[in-house]
Amino acid sequence: MFIYKLKYILIFFILSILPIKIVIADGEFTTQKPSLGKIVSIKEINAVDFVVMPDGDGLPIGSGSVESGKELFTMHCQACHGLDGVNGINGDLSGGHGTINGPVPKKTVGSYWPYATILFDYIRRAMPYQSPGILSNDEIYALSAYILYINNIIDEKEVITQKTIVDVEMPNSQNFIWAYPKKD
């Protein structure tokens, strides 16, 4: 008896909400998003995250000297960028200092770049051109040190680390402005 009654109550209940349900379903059709993104662990993210910020965020712990950088440069970079980073088949990595506001600006790491952190970021992403990814973090710091050295930005004895690379004062760093966001 009780079960019999319950059945009716249930049917009545379902009937009473049916039209409303359709309306809800209709709404879901247009506004519901599939939400299929899978949660990724920090470890997995670290493996795909190459981003280095000018304040040093994203830089791994490590260090490298000008001296070891010179050796690495000869081995991995000189063939394209030339002896001491000039006159190679690809772009010069030093020179042009003081030309940026002159009649013929020559842009290089030393004459133009606003932050030294870009060196680590870019070499880690893309260089050496034919086999990116082969360098260790210490080697990338060493190459950054060497490229800063050939631009007379640091001296021969200096060691570049995840901390010191942030503090390097690039000669042209004060000469950049942001066109975005637009000031009316």
Partner 1 sequence: MKKKKFNFTFSADNGLVDRRCFLKSGFGVGAGMMVAGANASEGKYRDDWMRKPGSGMGESGPSIHESHIKRSNVASQPGTLGSGASRTPLQFLDGIITPSRLHFERHHSGIPDINPQSHRLFIHGLVDRSLSFSMNDLQRYQHVSRIQFLECSGNSGAMIAPNAPQRDVSQIHGLVSCSEWGGIPLNILLDEAGIKPEGKWIVASGADAAVMSRSVPLEKIMDDAIIATHQNGEPIRPSNGYPMRLFLPGWEGNACVKWLKTIKVTSGPSMTKDETSKYSDLRDDGIAELFTFPMGVKSIITSPSPGLDLLERGIYQISGIAWSGSGKIKQVELSADGGKTWAKAELDSHVLSKSLTRFRSAWKWNGTQSSLMSRAIDDQGNIQPNREHWLKGRAINTFYHYNAIQSWSVNSKGKINNVYL
Contacts with ligand HEC by CB under 6 A lie at: 76-77, 79-81, 90-91, 93, 108-109, 122-123, 127-130, 143
Instruction: Specify the stretch interacting with partner 1 by CB under 8 A; choose among 2-10, 13-21, 59-67, 107-115.
Output: 107-115
Among 10, 11, 12, 50, binds partner 1 (CB under 8 A): 50
- Give CA–CA dist 119/115, Å, rounded: 8
Query: What is the nearest approach in angstroms of partner 1 to the Cβ of residue 23?
Result: 20
Tell me the CA distances in angstroms from 161 to 12, 86, 97, one per residue in order. Answer: 74, 25, 24
16 binds, among partner 1, ligand HEC, none (CB under 5 to 8 A by kind): none
- The gap between the terminal CA atoms of the chain, to the nearest Å, is 78
28 near partner 1 (CB under 8 A): no
Q: Which does 177 bind (CB under 5 to 8 A by kind): partner 1, ligand HEC, none?
A: partner 1
Report which residue type is found at 43: K
| Residues 6 or more apart whose Cβ sits within 8 Å of residue 59 | 52, 117, 120, 162, 165, 166
Q: Does 1 sit near partner 1 (CB under 8 A)?
A: no
Selection from ligand HEC, partner 1, none that 86 binds (CB < 5 to 8 A by kind) is none
Measuring CA to CA, which residue among 127, 144, 136, 170 is closest to residue 65?
A: 144
Q: Can residue 166 be called a binding residue for partner 1 (CB under 8 A)? A: no
Structure tokens belonging to residue 13:
């209940």
What is the DSSP track for 73-102? Answer: HHHHTHHHH-GGG-SSSS--SS--TT-TTS
Q: Per CB under 8 A, which region of 5-13, 36-44, 64-72, 151-159 contacts partner 1?
A: 36-44
Instruction: Decide: 114 and 176 in contact? Cβ < 8 Å.
Output: yes
Q: Name the site residues for partner 1 (rule: CB under 8 A).
A: 33-42, 44-45, 48-54, 58, 80, 89-90, 100-105, 107, 109, 112-115, 117-118, 121-122, 125-126, 129, 132, 175-181
